[in-house]
Amino acid sequence: MHKDIATPLRTKEILGKYGFSFKKSLGQNFLIDPNILRNITEHAGLTKDTAAIEIGPGIGALTEHLARTSGKVVAFEIDQRLIPILGDTLSPYDNVKIINKDVLEADVESIIQEEFEGYDDIMVVANLPYYVTTPIILKLLMERLPIRGICVMLQKEVGDRISAKPGTKEYGSLSIAIQYYTEAEMVMTVPKTVFMPQPNVDSAVIRLTKREQPPVEVIDEDFFFTVTRSSFAQRRKTILNNLTSQLPHGKEKKELILEALSKAGVEPSRRGETLSIQEFGALSDALYPHFN
């Protein structure tokens, strides 16, 4: 077994050797605690039959743990300066491929097809760059990639919103979007001290397991998401007020919206944060004929 990259000493040594300076704009907070990395890979449920996708390998702290515990790793790194460093730090591992690309612009599906032939179990595992946490997770889910799930470090506040239940102040359109595709669990909160440099926010690890079936069948998924986003446009407003102000020609269609609310069994005076995914599904289907 090689010396872990993720210790304060080794990380400083690597950064010094290459004269690397952190770019805050790229969310560069590297992990320097091997225990946290072991925890992440354990929660991801990896075996040698798993292929892992990593976003943002940095200097390879998590990547080497993935290389040890899974069959193959493909990692997307946007920062060109890190590519030669990764070539050095990950040289003991022959099952890692680094792709120098912004993951948001990558054709992840084609890469899965090319790189993971023969693997039925694919997991995304990462310590995400915090400035793009939500777009990355939504891209991976909305592209309906053949993955088992996503186990990632993120800002605790975003993790709270993703895993929130109805009736809580964290519950919103992000909770619904992600819980529509996955079962979301916060598996661990993480102190700032395990990062270099330390981030300004608290962190957590979340595990998203893709659902076989969505929790509610709807006529039109895009419209369902439009209805949920509209319902949370102003949290203090009632669902009726949000829908009339947000849906196209909503004010003129107020009577039809009231009719749809009644059909879905939702009181117009309720707030979006009190509706379950099933209620949003019923509401979206009742509104659908009036807006399409």
Based on CB atoms, which residue is closest to ligand SAM, 31 or 206? Answer: 31
Task: Give the H or E element holding residue 155.
Answer: strand 149-155
Are 204 and 185 within 8 A, CB to CB?
no
Which residue among 14, 28, 86, 257 contacts ligand SAM (CB under 6 A)? 28
Separate counts of helices (H) and strands (E) for the chain: 12, 9
Q: DSSP 3-state assignment of 219?
A: coil
94 is in an annotated binding site: no
Among 33, 65, 76, 149, which residue interacts with ligand SAM (rule: CB under 6 A)? 76
User: Shortest Cβ distance from residue 152 to ligand SAM (Å)?
Assistant: 10
d(CA 166, CA 225): 16
Measured distance CA(137)–CA(152) in Å, rounded: 9
Site for ligand SAM in 99-158 (CB under 6 A): 102-104, 127, 129, 132
Selection from 108, 102, 122 nearest residue 45 by Cα = 122
**Residue range at the interface with ligand SAM (CB under 6 A); choices 26-34, 172-180, 185-193, 207-215:** 26-34
Touching ligand SAM, residues 36-75 (CB under 6 A) = 55-58, 61-62
Provide, rounded to whole angstroms, the least separation between the CB of residue 267 and ligand SAM: 42
Judged by CB under 6 A, does residue 30 bind ligand SAM? yes
Q: At what angle do helices 239-246 and 221-231 cross, to 10 degrees?
A: 120
Nearer to ligand SAM, 54 or 121 (CB): 54
Q: Give residue for tokens 């760059």.
A: 129
Question: What is the maximal distance between C-alpha atoms in the chain?
Answer: 69
From candidates 14, 20, 31, 154, binder to ligand SAM by CB under 6 A: 31
Q: Which residues bind ligand SAM (CB under 6 A)?
A: 26-31, 55-58, 61-62, 76-79, 82, 102-104, 127, 129, 132
